[in-house]
A and B are shown apart, each in its own frame.
Chain A
Amino acid sequence: MRYTVMIKVPEPLEDVIVNLLRLANTKLPEDVGWALEAAAAWETNETAYAQLGGMMENVRKAEFKGVPMCQDTGIPVFYVTGRMDASVEDGIRKGLRKATDTIPLRPNTVHPLTRLNSGDNLGDGMPLIRYVPTDDDLEITVLPKGAGAENMSRTAMLDPADGIDGIKKFVTDAVLDAGGRLCPPTVVGVGIGGTADSCTSMAKEALLRPLDHVNPAADERALEDELFMTLNSCGLGPMGLGGNTTVLRVHVRTAYCHTASLPVAVNLNCWAARRATVRIKRDGTAEYRQ
């Protein structure tokens, strides 16, 4: 990946996490910026054009001032790969607490029953960290996930007989029923296959792909392109106020599933599709990219 590489000398992991969260929250990945620019170019509806213009202006201001582009700094989901030990979790938790104070991030995590806010974005099960150990350098990716988009997630166990048409209907209904409640134009992550839980995870992981990444699997790519064209022909538009741009991209991931199952999941990202990755090399230097 070629986006924004910045190298820093060795720092404690918690400070690396603060840098990573700052990058993700204050600077939109370039591919998302280009997708918004492209959308504005083919938008004919005046209200829609104004919405996209407002979004791009906000992105520039956030980057220039170094403050979060959206007040909903979300629930950060961390994806960790490479050589690691148990200290990674500690570093992430400490870094997140520090970032909440210093960037600052909005304290978002509450107990689900008492609704009491922990104040530091930590709590049982928070933040969510996914580990994939490999023999490579340690890499941590963060996906700050706002509630507006996350609340519109859907997972279903379709009947295998529903087939590809059933999948298409499920995905388009999820996006169109959400309307302007999240912040369209959205990035649509679709998981197909696996189990109920892995399917939902795949849908979210699909959001990590840069928007200009071309899916090497031809059948998935065809589905992505069709859903993209169809959804953008429906007229929902930016912020659900009408227009030609309802989605910026559709990304599909698949896994084999039980012969009697057809799990499908949709996980949406708002137009501010934030993400950032850091690679920590053997010598301790950290390489940031988006």
Chain B
Amino acid sequence: MDQISSPMDERTVRGLRLGETVFLSGEIVTARDAAHVRALSAADGPKELNGATLFHCGPIMTIEKEGRKVIAAGPTTSARMNGTAADMIRRYGIRAVIGKGGMSSTVLDAMRETGCVYLAAVGGTAVSLAERIINVNGVLWPDLGPAEAAWILEAENFGPLTVAMDAAGNSMYDNVKRTVDRTRPYS
């Protein structure tokens, strides 16, 4: 199991193999439906997104004496961002997307072109993942509400994450779908 640090460079990203398990340390930025729309409509987008690691997540946050704290932060369904993710990856040079359930072939193409991977987190493991977030560094678009705003988070050994779509155009989801379609009953 490999440790990787974020932000990543293209060489590291292209070196990740499909099916590999990694743990990530460094900065990650949460973004889901509304944040993608904002990021793409902004004339000059926030610099925090350049080369960033995105996390498809709408966390539960609390305000403590020492600042904001992440209580629960598991991945949300990535497929909802299929329509906006390819533009996002190209425009901001996103190097990794953390989510669940995989993304479309359009997104996979953008990943191969620019050098980006899809890292699958275990869905519903919000407490385990929140424990690996050591600091909240900031927030973009707080007016979207805590679930939709883009939180800039500092993670340590964040994972386990499975390289489920690599930068060479391979996808575990496509492989599984081929198996499922071959055995699909009652058709």
Q: Which residues of A are at the interface with B, using a C-beta cutoff of 8 A?
A: 47, 50-51, 54-55, 57-58, 61-62, 65, 67-73, 104-108, 115, 117, 119, 147-148, 151, 165, 168-169, 172-173, 176, 179-183, 230, 233-237, 239-242, 270-272
Which A residues touch B147, using CB under 8 A? 106-108, 117
B33 to chain A, nearest CB (A): 9
Which B residues touch A47, using CB under 8 A? 19, 162, 172
Interface code B121-134, partner A: CB below 8 Å = 1, 0 otherwise?
A: 01111111011000
Which A residues touch B128, using CB under 8 A? 54, 57-58, 61
- In chain B, positions 82-115 with a C-beta closer than 8 Å to chain A are 100-102
Determine the main DSSP class of B at the interface with A: mixed
> CB distance A71 to B175 under 8 Å?
no
Which A residues touch B34, using CB under 8 A? 115
Interface size of B in residues (CB-CB distance below 8 Å): 48
> CB distance A237 to B176 under 8 Å?
yes
> CB distance B131 to A240 under 8 Å?
no
Q: Does B74 contact A (CB under 8 A)?
A: yes
Q: Known: A234-B183, A241-B120. Contact between A106 and B176, CB under 8 A? A: no
Q: Does B185 contact A (CB under 8 A)?
A: yes
Which A residues touch B54, using CB under 8 A? none
> CB distance B180 to A235 under 8 Å?
yes
B145 to chain A, nearest CB (A): 5
Q: Which of A57, A70, A115, A151 contacts B74 (CB 8 A)?
A: A70
Chain B residue nearest to A26 in the complex (CB) = B127
Q: Which of A57, A68, A168, A235 contacts B179 (CB 8 A)?
A: A235
Q: Which of B58, B123, B160, B177 contacts A50 (CB 8 A)?
A: B160
